[in-house]
Amino acid sequence: MTTTKPLYPLLVVRSILALLAVGVVLLGLAAADLGPAWLDRAGGVAVAAAYSGLLAVRTGGRPVVFGLWAVVVGAGASVLAEVGPATGFWDDVATAVTTGGAVLTAVVSAVLAVMLTTPAVRSWRAAVEVFVAFAIAGVGSMAVLGFRPQLDVDRFGYAALACAFALGFGLVFRLGAGWHGLGRRGLLVVLGGSAVLAVTVAYAELLRHYGTPELVDGIDRSVRWTRDTIGATPRPLQVLVGVPALLWGCHMRARRRQGWWVCVFGCAATGSVATTLVNMHTTWLEAVLIPAYSLPLGLLLGYLVIRIDLAFTGPRGSRARAVERSRAVRPEPSRLQPLL
């Protein structure tokens, strides 16, 4: 006896994907300077609404409610942005609303990119999931740019990163069965990942504000030389935290649900990608090259972490490892099905 999928969820998912396709087309036309000037905002609203709906689908929420809410708020902000310059008050309101919409779009894009990954038994399969997450966050970055936010780049990045981690941890708390599902191993992972993330962010800020002029100037010259030579520089958050965590987390999720607590640190990478185009000095080519350089380095580091993890916790011998891989089939719903 065969069973069929319920029609309502299938129609909802297909409608959301159609809206996403429309948004991507509009953003592509806007990037090519084709069509009216409002295409970028319309594309950004469509992608933001589609991503909100997909995140609701994936986390067992109400995709229609959240999708329509995103459409209404985004469309209202876009209309205000178009008519706001005529009046001083509405201009300020439009700037605040569109910038807030850009932040929310970056947050949803970063978290959705992590939530849409699936467990991977082999390391190469986990690497594919990392590429999928980066592609989702990349489209989100175009949508963020479509809102035309007016902001301080550093503050925007930190705000989006903090909100993405807050939302990600809240969702993973449910997916990972709360604190009692964390275990000692998961607790060490969370504490270690938080420490690495804090050190990476704090070191950059301390160096920027309190570093000696000679040291800061030397680093700036190195960054400029790298950009002039190969077109872009890898992002430390992506290389040291986000990509290794996402690779290791997807690999671990095939064996233990604690892998979700590792995956959430992938928001460091997806959040960084989702906010790449906010910096107006970043060209389209550089926006592509940054993850292109960060991914191989991060994947290499993540693979080393996986090998170390298996060396301490996995079976010994090639035959035993083959048996372990055959049994590492912890079930999870497919990519576009609810996790809860």
Confidence at 88, pLDDT banded by 50, 70, 90: low
pLDDT bin (cut points 50, 70, 90) of residue 330 is low
299, part of any domain: yes
For residue range 177-197, what is the model confidence (pLDDT) as tens digits? 566 666 666 667 677 777 777
Copy the structure tokens of residue 108.
Answer: 């949803």
* Domain assignment present for 153: yes
Inside any domain, residue 337:
no
Is residue 321 assigned to a domain?
Answer: yes
Provide the percentage of residues in the chain whose pLDDT is more than 70.
79
| Segment 162-175 mean pLDDT | 88
Q: What are phi and psi of 135, to 5 degrees?
A: -65, -40
Q: Which residue has 């000095």 as its token pair?
A: 281
Residue 82 structural domain? 7-327
Residue 339 has pLDDT above 60, yes or no: yes
pLDDT on residue 182 = 64
**What percentage of the chain exceeds 90 in pLDDT?**
27
> What's the CA gap between 8 and 292, in Å, rounded?
39
Q: Is residue 136 part of a domain?
A: yes
- Within a domain: 340: no
The pLDDT mean for the chain works out to 81
Select from 289, 178, 295 the least CA-distant residue to 246: 295
Question: Which range has the worst mean pLDDT, 1-15, 29-43, 216-230?
Answer: 1-15
Taking residues 150-171, report their average pLDDT: 86
Confidence at residue 157, expressed as pLDDT on a 0 to 100 scale: 85
pLDDT at 284 over 80: yes
- Asked, for residue 274, whether it belongs to a domain, the answer is yes
On whether residue 254 sits in a domain, the answer given is yes
Distances from the Cα of 235 to the Cα of 104, 238, 256, angstroms: 22, 5, 29
Angle between helices 88-115 and 39-58 (to 10 degrees): 40
- Number of structural domains, the chain? 1
